[in-house]
Amino acid sequence: MQVTRRRIRRPRRSAIFAVTAALTLTLSSSASSGRLSPDPQTAGPVAGNRATALGPCMISGSMGVQMSEGVPTAPGYTPSTGTVRALNLMIDFPDAPGEGSALDRYAEFFPQTQDWFRTSSYGRLDYRPEVPVREWLRMPIPFTEYGIERGAPFDPGYRQLIEDIVRAADADVDFSAYDLVNVLVTPNAGPSALDTVLSVTFAGNPEAPVADGVPLANASFVYSRQDDGSGSYEETGYRVLPHENGHVFGLPDLYTAEGGGAVGHWDIMSEDWGANNDLLGWHKWKLGWLDDAQVSCAATAGTSEHELVPLASDGGDGGGDGGGGGRKLTFIPIDQRSGYAVEVRTRAGNDEAVCKPGVLIYRVDAEVDTGHGPVTIADSARDSGGCTRRPNVHAELSDAPFAPGETFTDEDAEIRVQVAAATLEGAYRVRVTRS
């Protein structure tokens, strides 16, 4: 059986406008022995065996959802725990020769991307970037002849581009030895990222061209340079790659055609430029970076209390212990498809730009597809304008977290979340009431 995955790409930076194009990603059910072609029976971030008590909180989408927020992640994506080998290839074109050295382009993303994943995963993802070819790989035809533009499908342009990349690199690269491919395109090929974002990922696509016996099924393409609006990309520009690789691990886009107003900068799958940002706790559980013991499920009627430590606590220590232990996520299911997640966000780890620490509450809907708003942050201070003015940030949600004494209520779902207190050690006590 073949499942087609469609994903809407990000809006342009300089203005918000409706996005109508979609990209097609294909997932096949046939197994393969190669690393780049995942075995659909075993590949994927999280195994299906989860704690029985968490069963009601393991929401899932229907077959019509292409890239779902459901837990566990569907098979076919690159594993998100353990050692992951990332092949990096820098390419240029006759009409867009590489500017500077290929290794300069590589240095825009590494070691920053590797460090970002180490911190976010608490050391559970050992992301290893490799560069077997240290020069620009020149493509045989001009960039304009590939027909690559925003929303371009895999066929024919990307298929031809991958075939040309394989021919150019095959003598020096054993493609079967890698878990994913990053194609770092010379920045002068195509428009500026401030005008149109071309960066895209094709994940779980065993119909892709074959190299060294395996389809290049998991590939991220990065174009142009992203900056924070000030003309500098050194600090923030690399985060387009963790975002794109997030799709390889099975995470959907959280922005919509209208932009990042649903999630803001609380997850790199929403906005990956401007203020620094981590992943939501729901995504960390989905990826296997949080243990089941670090998640509580408030599924029964009545009132329950939950003590949550900050999501970033002890993060980045490389110890692979889920961030030093402690409960970091509470989920309140509404039905089999959706629910509310509750976590504590502070200025630490990958969340260095947090301007209002507190309890972040958001709705997750596994029935809403990528690029259509599967996650919505609850704003504790609506229409405040936010508390940060970092460049290119969606500021309104920057002060979304709830403080002690504040309460979130969903009257339709008959769910109330009260932030009871903050402890001296930095944890928060949360009281959940549901009918």
Say which residue the tokens 């008590």 belong to.
Answer: 53
Residue 202: other Cβ atoms inside 10 A: 27
Instruction: Compute the distance between CA of residue 375 and CA of residue 367 in angstroms, rounded to an integer.
Output: 11
Give residue 151's pLDDT: 86
Question: From residue 195, how far is each of 20, 31, 92, 150 by CA, in Å?
Answer: 16, 40, 20, 11
- Give the predicted TM-score (pTM) of the model: 0.88
Listed residues 248, 268, 299: the one ending a domain? 248
Whether 360 is in a domain gets the answer yes
DSSP-assigned letter for residue 219: E
Position 260 pLDDT exceeds 90: no
For residue 241, give the nearest of 48, 27, 90 by alpha carbon. 90
CB-facing half-sphere around the CA of 95: CA atoms within 13 A = 8
Whether 198 is in a domain gets the answer yes
Confidence of residue 27 (pLDDT cuts 50, 70, 90): very low
CB 74 within 8 A of CB 370: no
Give residue 174's pLDDT: 97
Instruction: Compute the distance between CA of residue 41 and CA of residue 30 in angstroms, rounded to an integer.
Output: 9
Whether 69 is in a domain gets the answer yes
Whether 107 is in a domain gets the answer yes
CB 218 within 8 A of CB 36: yes
For residue 73, give the nearest of 231, 197, 330, 246 by alpha carbon. 246
Position 2 pLDDT exceeds 80: no
Whether 254 is in a domain gets the answer no
CA angle 188, 193, 195 (to 5 degrees): 110
CB 355 within 8 A of CB 348: no
Q: Same domain for 243 and 296? A: no
- 274 Ramachandran zone, left/alpha/beta (phi>0; psi -120 to 50): left
Q: Give the domain range for residue 285.
A: 281-434
Question: From residue 261, how far is each of 4, 45, 362 by CA, in Å?
Answer: 27, 28, 13
Instruction: Compute the distance between CA of residue 333 and CA of residue 229 in angstroms, rounded to an integer.
Output: 39
Q: Same domain for 346 and 406? A: yes
Give residue 45's pLDDT: 52
Whether 269 is in a domain gets the answer no
Q: Same domain for 46 and 195? A: yes
Per-chain mean pLDDT for the chain: 85
Q: Same domain for 140 and 211? A: yes
Q: Is 366 exposed, middle or buried (0-12, 13-18, 19+ CB in 10 A)?
A: buried
pLDDT in tens, 282-329: 999 999 999 999 999 999 999 999 999 999 987 433 344 444 579 999
Q: Same domain for 150 and 290? A: no
Helix (H, G, I), strand (E, B) or coil at 307: strand
- 11 Ramachandran zone, left/alpha/beta (phi>0; psi -120 to 50): beta
User: Could you tell me the sign of the dihedral formed by the alpha carbons of 368, 374, 380, 383, in that order?
Assistant: negative
Q: Which value, in Å, is the radius of gyration of the alpha carbons in the chain? A: 21
pLDDT in tens, 161-173: 999 999 999 999 9
Instruction: Compute the distance between CA of residue 59 and CA of residue 68 in angstroms, rounded to an integer.
Output: 10
Whether 259 is in a domain gets the answer no
Instruction: Compute the distance between CA of residue 89 and CA of residue 165 in angstroms, rounded to an integer.
Output: 9
Supply φ then ψ for residue 411, to 5 degrees: -65, -35
How many distinct structural domains can be found in the chain? 2
pLDDT in tens, 83-112: 999 999 999 999 999 989 999 999 999 999
Q: Same domain for 113 and 243? A: yes
Q: Same domain for 102 and 158? A: yes
pLDDT in tens, 371-386: 999 999 999 999 999 9
Position 43 pLDDT exceeds 50: no
Give residue 230's pLDDT: 54
Q: Same domain for 134 and 9? A: yes
Q: Same domain for 189 and 286? A: no
Confidence of residue 121 (pLDDT cuts 50, 70, 90): very high
User: Could you tell me the sign of the dihedral formed by the alpha carbons of 187, 87, 229, 190, in that order?
Assistant: positive
Please report the DSSP string for 86-110 in residue order: EEEEEEEBTTBPPSS-HHHHHHTTT
Listed residues 248, 271, 292: the one ending a domain? 248
Q: Same domain for 293 and 390? A: yes
CB-facing half-sphere around the CA of 425: CA atoms within 13 A = 7
Give residue 347's pLDDT: 93
CA angle 76, 321, 423 (to 5 degrees): 120
Q: Same domain for 221 and 299? A: no
Please report the DSSP string for 60-83 in residue order: ---TT-SS---SSPPTTSPP-SEE
Q: Same domain for 204 and 303? A: no
Whether 270 is in a domain gets the answer no
CB-facing half-sphere around the CA of 223: CA atoms within 13 A = 20
